[in-house]
Amino acid sequence: MSRLNVLSPDDVPDGTKRILDNVGAQLGFVPNMFATLASNPTVLEAVTTLQSTLGRVLDAKTRHTIALAVSQANGCDYCLAIHTYVSSELGGMSSDDIDLARAGSSIDPKRAAVARFAQQVVASRGQVSDADLAAVRGAGYTDPQILAIVTVAVQVLLTNFINNVNQTDINIPAVNSAGTPG
C-alpha cells in the first residue's frame, strides 16, 4: 500500500490535471507514481519536464536499457514494472533484451556497455573507475553521450527513490521473475 497521500481527482489543480492528462495520453493510463506526484505540482512538473527533456538524449532503447538496469540495481519494483511495460509496449524491446538490461547487459553490445556502466554509476554512487569509463568509451560513446547516460541514470534514481519511499502501488502489469509483464 502506498505510504504517501494521493489527491482525489477533484482536488487536483487544473494545471496539474493537464500534466496528468498528457501522461495518460502517452501511456494509455496514468501510472500511480504520477498521481502521487500530483500532490506537489512543482515536483510533478519537475519530474515530467526532466523526463521530456531527457527524451531527446540517446536513442529510446538505450534510455530504456538504462532505466531497467538502474531500477534493478535499486530494487524498485514499481519502476521495473513501468519500465518493462514501456520498453515492451512502446519501445519495441523483446523480453530477452528487457531481462538482459535488468542484469546489466543487452543483446546489442553497445547497449550492454551502457547497462553495465549505468549499474556501476549506481553501485559506486558515481565514483566510477577509469576502467569503467574506458569500457563505455570503448563501446563507442563520446564524453557528451556519457554525460547523457549519467543524467538519465540520475533521473531514474529520482523516480526509484520516490517510488521506494512511497512503496507505490503497482497499477500496471507486475514484473515476474523472468522480467516480463505478467
* pLDDT value at residue 174: 54
- Look up residue 1 and give its three cell numbers: 500500500
Residue 177 pLDDT more than 50? Answer: no
| Residues 12-55: tens digit of each pLDDT | 888 899 999 999 999 988 999 999 999 999 999 999 999 999 99
Rounded CA separation 30/10 (Å): 15
pTM summary value: 0.91
Domains of the chain: 1-182 (1.20.1290.10)
The answer to whether the CB of 111 falls within 8 A of the CB of 67 is: no
- Look up residue 19 and give its three cell numbers: 500534466
pLDDT band of 179, cuts 50, 70, 90 = very low
